[in-house]
Homo-oligomer: A and B are copies of this chain.
């Protein structure tokens, strides 16, 4: 079970290791007949080059690590697929790292970069601060961020335009006559929470509606959190007619709460979420949600990152700010609700 090495091949073929290496790497400086002979030996021995040896010598692993906060959420999976779609054709391998929502795990994965196990690292909605990330970038490590702008020249970023996104939702709701619209944020540290809140306020302002702090609550991005937050919101604001949740999980919680309280959707309460996850189409009525082109974000970011590694181009800030689309469904539009009777 001892693997044959390049030396075994060389001996068997009666040439030097250099020649075998040249054949392996498709160098032109090798005689056609020698090439043939070496290839034959390689085939007969079932030789496969040892990746570690290669990596040590070339100082490259052709591998990119993708660190996601939670492998079970579709948001992350879509991004991973996008990255894979760019990276694989360029012969880069992807390794997926699940931080299990633990900041310390995320930080642990950074050592993959430092120990040179991977050439680059993509962080999806990292918990680390911009300053922490900047420190890595300043030390010459290649990394990219998805979900926010890390604000560093050497760190390409891909993110959705949260303000635009939110204003889109607000104008939809306001257009349907809602004036008392609640906003459900995720945990306070998340940039998405902040930016979407900002967009919420801007949307109100443009429609000359007052901003009422009681209409804002936090649901921690989870279904249960959304459920609880909605209960609180409702208590505080009896006149509430619409909820904008910063993600679908919380929207689901609101949906559930309404079901239990016998509040009709969308007549008694309109609901809009973000992510347009599959499950929003399976509840009755389905939940309106904003679709983000996640795969595209992955594709763009990975492309940029690989360019950066190969071309050594430090072409300044590279931030992809990407627009998303509101998918209106039964939870916020009576018309849709009546049509879509599955």
A binding-site residues for B, Cβ under 8 Å? 1, 3, 48-53, 55-56, 61, 71-72, 74, 77, 80-81, 84, 95-96, 98, 100, 111-112, 114-117, 139-140, 252, 256, 259-260, 278-279, 282-284, 342
Query: What are 16 A-B contacts with C-beta separation under 8 Å?
Result: A1-B139, A49-B115, A51-B115, A51-B117, A52-B61, A52-B116, A71-B80, A80-B98, A95-B95, A96-B98, A252-B282, A260-B342, A278-B279, A279-B282, A282-B282, A282-B283
A52 to B50, CA, bound (A): 12
Shortest CB distance A75–B (Å)? 11
Given contacts A72-B74, A95-B95, A259-B342, contact A50 B115 (CB under 8 A): yes
A72 to B53, CA, bound (A): 34
| Set of chain B residues within 8 Å of A74, measured between Cβ atoms | 72
Q: Given A50-B116, A84-B100, A259-B342, output 4 extra A-B contacts at Cβ < 8 Å.
A: A3-B114, A52-B61, A52-B117, A279-B279
Once the chains bind, are B96 and A84 in contact (CB under 8 Å)? no
| Set of chain B residues within 8 Å of A342, measured between Cβ atoms | 256, 259-260
Shortest CB distance A43–B (Å)? 14
Q: Which of B52, B84, B282 contacts A98 (CB 8 A)?
A: B84
Shortest CB distance A186–B (Å)? 20
Shortest CB distance A329–B (Å)? 14
Which B residue's beta carbon lies closest to that of A284?
B284
A53 to B56, CA, bound (A): 6
Once the chains bind, are A72 and B77 in contact (CB under 8 Å)? yes
Shortest CB distance A46–B (Å)? 8
Shortest CB distance A337–B (Å)? 15
A111 to B48, CA, bound (A): 8
| Set of chain B residues within 8 Å of A282, measured between Cβ atoms | 252, 279, 282-283
Once the chains bind, are B52 and A56 in contact (CB under 8 Å)? yes
Which B residue's beta carbon lies closest to that of A98?
B84
Most buried by B among A61, A77, A256: A77
| Set of chain B residues within 8 Å of A48, measured between Cβ atoms | 111, 114-115
Q: Which of B51, B72, B140 contacts A116 (CB 8 A)?
A: B51
Shortest CB distance A9–B (Å)? 15
Shortest CB distance A84–B (Å)? 7
Once the chains bind, are A95 and B98 in contact (CB under 8 Å)? no
Q: Which of B49, B52, B72, B259 contacts A55 (CB 8 A)?
A: B52
Once the chains bind, are B61 and A71 in contact (CB under 8 Å)? no
| Set of chain B residues within 8 Å of A77, measured between Cβ atoms | 71-72
| Set of chain B residues within 8 Å of A96, measured between Cβ atoms | 71, 95-96, 98
Shortest CB distance A220–B (Å)? 18
A208 to B317, CA, bound (A): 73
| Set of chain B residues within 8 Å of A55, measured between Cβ atoms | 52
Which B residue's beta carbon lies closest to that of A54?
B115
Which B residue's beta carbon lies closest to that of A80?
B71
